[in-house]
């Protein structure tokens, strides 16, 4: 093993208490670059900025994901900073390199028809599972709530005749979210089905097996996947977060403005909400391609 690499790995263990798996990952990434550098007759410690750029280009050409490229660059940066700090080099050849930016992953969402099928299937689940699944789906799709926000709701959040709920989101920030009459009715049916004469409705709208605690994320996810199976949908494509994406996508596609959507979703920055414009732009382009007379002309 290269003596500089060995010294670097020893530093990781002694000074940073890095786990064995972490040290092994650094070793593998740096030895991969060392083999590349050797092809140009350069040692690992003697690499130039140009050689590092060529290596990153080779990683891209190999089809490595941006996240994997960034991991390799991070290993190189830490290695050469170590060499600079210890006096093995007078400069850091990785200092001017930019990390690759991962492409934006477009959110997965369900079509309106798939949402309808999912709701119909949820209603066919046996016992209380059906009422719970329907209420959860109606609220998620009607409001775009995060799963943590949904499971934190109390029965008092649902008030007869009220068309809004107060939601406490990330960072304790509160926002008002409109409710559809159908979502309110589904929540009321859920509550009515578990109330006992003269009893309390409990602390949670969606309680867990232990009624003193809310339903877990895993429990809700499993319930939605059961509904997906009954609906004939891929369970891997159905989750509370996919319902949130579906809410946002359908709302924007039907004329909602981006600022309103930002408020409803509880995003602190408009840039987070803007990802949904990519979805609607693609749909608009497809619509133009199908229906505009000029788009159908032969070139």
End-to-end CA distance of the chain: 61
Q: Are residues 270 and 262 in contact, defined by beta-carbon separation less than 8 angstroms?
A: yes
Catalytic residue among 27, 244, 245, 250: 244
DSSP assignment of 33-59 equals HHHHHHTTT--STT--HHHHHHHHHHH
Distance, in Å, from the CA atom of 267 to the CA atom of 259, rounded to the nearest integer, reads: 10
User: Among the options 170, 203, 213, 259, which is catalytic?
Assistant: 170
Q: With CA atoms as reference, report the closest residue to 202 among 71, 44, 210.
A: 210
**Residue 250 falls in the annotated catalytic set:** no
146: annotated active-site residue? yes
Q: Is 151 left (phi over 0), alpha (psi -120 to 50) or beta?
A: alpha
Active site residue 189: no
194 is catalytic: no
Catalytic residue among 26, 55, 80, 276: 276
> Which residue, chain included where needed, has tokens 């002309």?
297
φ, ψ of residue 167 to 5 degrees: the values are: -115, 135
Q: Which of 194, 215, 227, 195 is nearest to 150 (CA)?
A: 215
- Active-site residue, 170 included: yes
Active-site choice (23, 175, 189, 267): 267
For the record, the structure tokens of 260 come out as 């309103």
Measured at the CA of 211, the angle between CA 118 and CA 148, to 5 degrees, comes to 50
Q: Is there a catalytic annotation at residue 241?
A: yes
Active-site choice (4, 146, 245, 250) = 146
Q: Could you list the active site residues?
A: 146, 170, 241, 244, 267, 276
């Amino acid at each position: 093993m290269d003596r500089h690499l060995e010294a670097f790995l020893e530093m990781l263990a002694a000074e940073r208490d890095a786990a064995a798996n972490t040290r092994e990952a650094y070793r593998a990434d740096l030895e991969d670059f060392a083999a590349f550098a050797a092809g140009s007759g350069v040692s690992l410690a003697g690499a130039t900025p140009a050689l590092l750029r060529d290596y990153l280009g080779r990683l891209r050409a190999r089809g490595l994901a941006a996240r994997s490229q960034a991991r390799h660059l991070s290993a190189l940066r830490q290695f050469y900073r170590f060499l600079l700090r210890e006096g093995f080099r007078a400069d850091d050849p990785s200092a001017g390199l930019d990390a690759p930016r991962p492409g934006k992953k477009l959110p997965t969402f369900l079509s309106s028809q798939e949402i309808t099928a999912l709701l119909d299937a949820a209603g066919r689940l046996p016992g209380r599972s059906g009422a719970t699944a329907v209420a959860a789906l109606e609220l998620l799709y009607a409001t775009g709530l995060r799963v943590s926000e949904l499971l934190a709701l109390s029965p008092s959040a649902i008030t007869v005749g009220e068309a809004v709920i107060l939601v406490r989101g990330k960072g304790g920030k509160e926002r008002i979210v409109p409710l559809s009459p159908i979502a309110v009715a589904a929540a009321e049916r859920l509550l009515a089905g578990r109330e006992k004469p003269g009893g309390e409705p409990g602390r949670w709208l969606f309680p867990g097996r232990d009624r003193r605690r809310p339903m877990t994320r895993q429990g809700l996810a499993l319930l939605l996947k059961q509904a997906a199976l009954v609906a004939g949908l891929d369970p891997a494509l159905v989750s509370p977060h996919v319902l949130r994406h579906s809410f946002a996508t359908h709302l924007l596609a039907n004329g909602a403005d981006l600022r309103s959507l930002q408020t409803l979703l509880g995003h602190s920055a408009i840039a987070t909400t803007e990802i949904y414009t990519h979805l609607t732009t693609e749909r608009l382009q497809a619509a133009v391609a199908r229906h505009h007379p000029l788009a159908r002309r032969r070139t």
